[in-house]
Amino acid sequence: MDLYKSLPGPMIRCPIEIAEMVKYADNAWHATKVAFANEVGAFCKGLGIDSHEVMNIFCQDTKLNISTTYLRPGFAFGGSCLPKDVRALRFKGKEMNISLPLLDGVLASNRSQLDRGIAMVKAGATTKRIGILGFSFKANTDDMRESPIIDLITQLVSENYDLRVYDKNVTMAKLTGANLDYIESKIPGIGKLMSASIGDVLSHAEVIVIGNNSQEFGEIANQLRPEQKVVDFVRMKSIETGHKNYNGIGW
């Protein structure tokens, strides 16, 4: 370790397998960034826009664009912005006859992650009793538009799984506009699946799904029965370390 003492930056010690995988992740990420910037350039040229000016502004956002914010393995993305805008770029690209293979693959990759999560949940549910904690697309919002958890619920309902769902931020009586239209079109009668408390979900389910990182879900470890299985899409550490029948989607 003395060899590195004079070098700037933090010293990180980790298993060899982690160090090797970091190197691959580094280069795959760098390659992805180059491909992304080039597709933005091709798209901008098709519209007569200065791509360098676009990306110069893009790179000044260090809160989201140049940050760790979206670089944690977890469940599929959703919400009212990301799927819609990726689809818009792909549609316009096809209209201009511009190849955008990286952007074309984003939604397919996202669907693969959704399918991976559905398979994990079904694998543990021998009695088909499933409880879902958190089904808005992120914690502390009632916005369910294009929430991947809603897609999960839709799939399970279509296969006659016995569901109970809970999200303190979602009350059918308070939903309005596009949000209400979306949930009613995706899951007619979802109100019948909704529980008033976490306890109701826990008492019902053989498999518990952690759908978003609402703080209250991190406090259920001591309420779980030993035989209950947990499928975690957000990595609740208190449950990961405190429950033997735990399974994380990417860890």
Q: By C-alpha distance, which of 63, 207, 209, 208 is closest to 149? A: 209
Q: By C-alpha distance, which of 217, 82, 204, 59 is closest to 143? A: 82
The CA distance from 226 to 243, in Å, is 7
CA distances from 103 to 54, 74, 91, 120, 244 (A): 17, 20, 11, 27, 39
Instruction: Note if 81 is an active site residue.
Output: yes
Residue 142 CB coordination number (10 Å): 16
The CA distance from 89 to 103, in Å, is 8
The count of residues in the chain is: 251
- Please provide residue 232's backbone torsions phi and psi, each rounded to the nearest 5 degrees: -110, 120
Instruction: Give the CA angle between residues 159, 163, 168 to the nearest 5°.
Output: 140
The CA distance from 71 to 248, in Å, is 16
Q: To 10 degrees, the CA torsion angle through 216, 222, 225, 231?
A: 50
**Catalytic: which of 14, 44, 59, 81?**
81
- Sheet strands (E) in the chain: 129-133, 162-166, 207-210, 229-232, 246-248
What residues are annotated to the active site?
A: 81
